[in-house]
Amino acid sequence: MNASPIAQALLRIGKNLTEASRLFSGHKTGLRSAVEIEATSLAAEILALDPTVGGLDQAQKLIASFRQDAAKIGHACMVAHADPARKAEKDGRDKLLWYDDFTALLLSLAKKVGIKANLNKNWNDRQRGGWLFEAAQQLEVFLSRPMRSPSAEACGKRLETNRKRLVNVHRK
């Protein structure tokens, strides 16, 4: 999970909110750095210019409230990122169910233009081939990077798995 985009996003959000909370502590009592004091003061002054805020006192209260909320949410994000007990319903790799739609689109295209959507593997050199595989390879470049198959073999395996799943769904 730590390598997933969700875990990475949670970690990034947690760090950013924690840092924002720390930097906006410039008006709290105790030892504060010049950066914390200046950042908090400037943010409050600019925020006070917004007529919906209601002045400098309200801006300072809003920043204090944000600081507390940011610290809580940042901490929660860091815990969610680090908690190894939080997993999907089943352990193991994602089923890549979204790839069903991609595979279904390719099969639909093949059917509309009258092409046999074959998918094969040469067992001598272990190379994938067929119209379905070639089409997927060409169209995956339009998917966001995390959605792309990491290798040609992975693409072929995804297509095999998802085509079987689609056939089983249509049989039911």
Say if CB 140 and CB 131 are below 8 A apart: no
- Do 29 and 63 lie in one domain? The reply is yes
- Do 32 and 77 lie in one domain? The reply is yes
The confidence band for 93, taking pLDDT boundaries of 50, 70 and 90, is: low
Q: What percent of the chain has pLDDT over 70?
A: 87
Residue type present at position 14: G
- Do 12 and 71 lie in one domain? The reply is yes
- pTM reported for the whole predicted model: 0.46
- Do 108 and 139 lie in one domain? The reply is yes
Residue 11 has pLDDT above 90, yes or no: no
The pair phi, psi for residue 52, each rounded to 5°, is: -80, -15
Residue 66 has pLDDT above 90, yes or no: yes
pLDDT for 86: 54
Which domain range does residue 16 map to?
Answer: 5-82
Report the pLDDT averaged over residues 13-30. 86
- Do 132 and 159 lie in one domain? The reply is yes
> Is residue 91 situated within a structural domain?
no
The pair phi, psi for residue 19, each rounded to 5°, is: -65, -40
Number of domains in the chain: 2
The last residue of a domain, from among 82, 110, 141: 82
- Do 16 and 76 lie in one domain? The reply is yes
The last residue of a domain, from among 82, 109, 129: 82
CA distance 107 to 109: 5
Structure-token match 């003061």, residue found: 41
- Do 69 and 114 lie in one domain? The reply is no
> Is residue 17 situated within a structural domain?
yes
The confidence band for 62, taking pLDDT boundaries of 50, 70 and 90, is: very high
CA distances from 157 to 46, 102, 126, 136, 152 (A): 55, 14, 12, 12, 9
